[in-house]
Structure 1
């Protein structure tokens, strides 16, 4: 008797496959309709702000105090059961979208992108004051937006904005860095939000260190509970004081953050092999790609924080100088795909190569960083698959399980392209993030781009 895999045992029969395809089509159709309604809403909110601005222009500027805008926003707020401050913010955002980003507004009106995509495009492009540069930026980013999730689109949008921005990244970073600060917003019920504006590299390193500490604390609590109660601890009703940590990872991160800021060390103690606190040895981890000319000081092109956005060349050079090991990457000048890395130990070279190529989990839309992923054989090793970069990809634990037990298929194409097949037979192509950014940046620097045309049509 041939043993079936879990995925084969629950594979969809024709009737359920057809029903699920109808569900997927219905959800996609609803999303397009929601996007069109979001565009319609933006149209009316922008029109409301335009009326307010027109009235204020007719008044004595010294006595208007933006009262017409506040009054109109309050009128809309009472009709929609929203806070008037929220409506003022949405009116301003709608005016920016419809006026400064007409191509993005048109794509939203047609249901080709979601409001979340539009927000990413506007947020990354707000710094572009030149109208032609902004139009070029929109054209390039919108070409990618329809095939990327908002999370995957964000670093691409920042990379393209960086290319078309006439002001150097060094000057912009220094201006932005001068605005670093902290503040607190009270939330009520004895809770507050603590905010800090710092360099992106530091912010993501802080979050990564908190995550590593949180995971270490959770594992230690689980191991202690298993020692006390055995492997069925999750099924036991334990009493107060028993060694079980029921906090979520987000809660542990918040607690560790407060400990570190207030006392300089985490309150929790997780013993290492010597009896010391294992948490003290944890450091934040980030991945940065630095152009060779920037690294040696011959240029000032921005470095790139994997999965997020540009980094000042000065910060990138300082980090490189303090790093014990770093890897040269050789890229194809036509496609942006990585060719190889110059390392000697094969397994270490493969890990470094995949860290640079994949950056995060390769399931469509997932952005779990690669240092929290498994390196999976696309063609199973047990079935003759080779341990080579052309047969390896980063998958987070959840999507690794989904691949093996969720009736999803995966083909490994050239250049690190992953072609997924869903349980209903849909084929989704996932391309490596560095290659996607490279092609977007290449398009952004095209010396002779085609003209940008946006039809003046209402979204309804």
Structure 2
């Protein structure tokens, strides 16, 4: 006999949620198998759609999932494995939304090994994060295919279209190159950060920030600042790649550009090398200081590349440096005890049962049992490729 939700304990509610979601995933796999049988027998798919009262786009989506991820049979009746066995092996663990995003990712023709990364991500993050990760893998692959010799001809330059509107207003749209876009974003983000008395809509905040930039530029001597520093661009790149101009670099926010572009930025910029634990800057302050230094902040930007919580896409400029073991509890202000977290996930980690650790310099999050009964360690795959995570003590 099913117990009414109002009579369940707090833990019981979450246990029921986990059980219900598992049942829904099982039912979805059965739905795909039945649809695959309809297709195998050549039955009328319009009749199937009317029976299940589904939108044609839903049926098309399910058909794609069944074709890609379920076993099939040959014309002679021989069993055939799934076209994509990596996803097929865990299809019962994933939701309709996750399978939809994995099918989309396959259509992007991503590099070898991408499906394994996306499937691992799908087991711990929402479908939207899987889509973002697939897009980043695609962007990285496209950047790697750019011929460095022909790059200036291949890259679109800065373009701005203007149109006068009634009342003296101005409409504009355009496109910026990687270098210009990086500079623009570095100046815009400190001014467009959410604030209690400001607009909640991100587009309105960016619009107001852009207007502020225009006023600041007109005075030339005033520039916005962030954490006490002038607007800057952090570029993480291998020294040999920078010297030769061949390879790729990483901008804050996980935007990729070529080594040749990084060289052009370095020509008219102050180069701030990111040295993790090097001799050029003191990165580990131990118990001597609670607040994070500028040098440590740069190192965290290069290591975490944004909010380290699994599935979060927030860039490093919008994150706080969180002490894994709180400073008041004896934790040190060292890189191994620090992790970048956006305000939302900073609060979540403080007030929930999520645990954080670093393994090999990579932040790892262990969910509470009501989120994952197995408490499998998770990483944010949106900012960096996965690294092996040894079993962590419960």
What TM-score, normalized to structure 2?
A: 0.61
Q: 1:112 aligns with which of 81, 88, 94?
A: 94
Question: 1:283, 1:19 → 2: CA distance?
Answer: 49
Matched, 1:373 2:355: no
Preserved contact between residue 294 and residue 301 of structure 1 (Cα < 8 Å): yes
Alignment of 1:6-405 (within 5 A): 15-27=9-21, 29-30=23-24, 102-103=83-84, 106=88, 110=92, 112=94, 115=97, 119=101, 122=104, 126=108, 136-139=113-116, 141-149=118-126, 150-151=128-129, 154-155=132-133, 158-159=136-137, 162=140, 167-168=145-146, 170=148, 177-178=155-156, 196-200=174-178, 202-203=180-181, 206-207=184-185, 209-215=187-193, 218=195, 222=197, 247-256=199-208, 259=211, 265-266=214-215, 286-297=233-244, 300-329=246-275, 340-346=277-283, 347-404=293-350
SS at match of 2:250: strand
Deviation at 1:296, TM superposition (A): 0.4
1: CA distance between counterparts of 2:137 and 2:315?
Answer: 19
Answer whether contact 1:362 1:394 (CA < 8 A) is retained. yes
Q: Distance in 1 between matches of 2:29 and 2:231?
A: 38
Mapped partners of 2:60, 2:140: distance in 1? 27
Structure 2 CA distance for partners of 1:421 and 1:126, relative to 1, 3 Å: closer
* Per-residue CA distance 1:80-118 (angstroms, 9 max, x = gap): 778xxxx6xx97998799689942874796553654575
Distance 1:343 1:414 in 2: 24
How big is the shift at 1:413?
A: 3.8
Deviation of residue 295 (structure 1)? 0.4
Give distance in 1, aligned partners of 2:302 and 2:31: 40
How many residue pairs get matched?
334
Query: TM-score normalised to the size of structure 1?
Result: 0.54
Contact 1:42–1:94 (CA under 8 A) maintained in structure 2: yes
Gaps of 5+ in 2: 1-7, 40-45, 70-81, 163-170, 284-292, 389-394
CA shift in 2, pair 1:124/1:259, >3 Å: farther
1:259/1:265 contact within 8 Å kept = yes
- Greater relative CO, 1 or 2 (CA 8 Å, sep 6+): 1
Q: Which structure dedicates a bigger proportion of its chain to helix?
A: 1
